[in-house]
Amino acid sequence: MQQLSPQELRAWQTTDKPFLLVDVREPKEHTVANLGGLLIPLASVLKHLPDFDVQLPVVVYCKRGIRSQLAIQRLSARLPQVEFYNLDGGLQAWEKAK
């Protein structure tokens, strides 16, 4: 599984690299703090397969990076042609890296 550091994600954002950002936390968590992108809770990721553009890399994040890893495992089994990245350390690492 490919990992993307918070610094690498910031670089992607500042260079306008096209990618899809997906938050797999729950709506209540997303409301408190988020990095943007689509909110697709872990329990429903497989219901959202049509939301993924197979041409774009997908960065998946959660609080610490555990749920996002599970989401990527589930999604990559169904969408092997998509390039998935786990935000290493999740939102917590993103906040620390500021």
Q: What is the pLDDT of residue 70?
A: 98
| pTM exceeds cut of 0.75 | yes
What token pair was written down for 90? 């999740």
Give the ranges where the chain is alpha helix by DSSP (H).
Answer: 6-14, 27-32, 66-78, 90-96
Q: What is the pLDDT of residue 1?
A: 85
Q: What is the pLDDT of residue 98?
A: 79
Instruction: Give CA separation, 70 vs 12, 13, 27, 73, 98, in Å.
Output: 23, 24, 18, 5, 26
Average confidence score pLDDT of the chain: 96
Q: What is the pLDDT of residue 40?
A: 98
pLDDT digits (tens, 9 = 90+) for 49-93: 999 999 999 999 999 999 999 999 999 999 999 999 999 999 999
Tell me phi and psi for residue 86, to 5 degrees: -95, 130
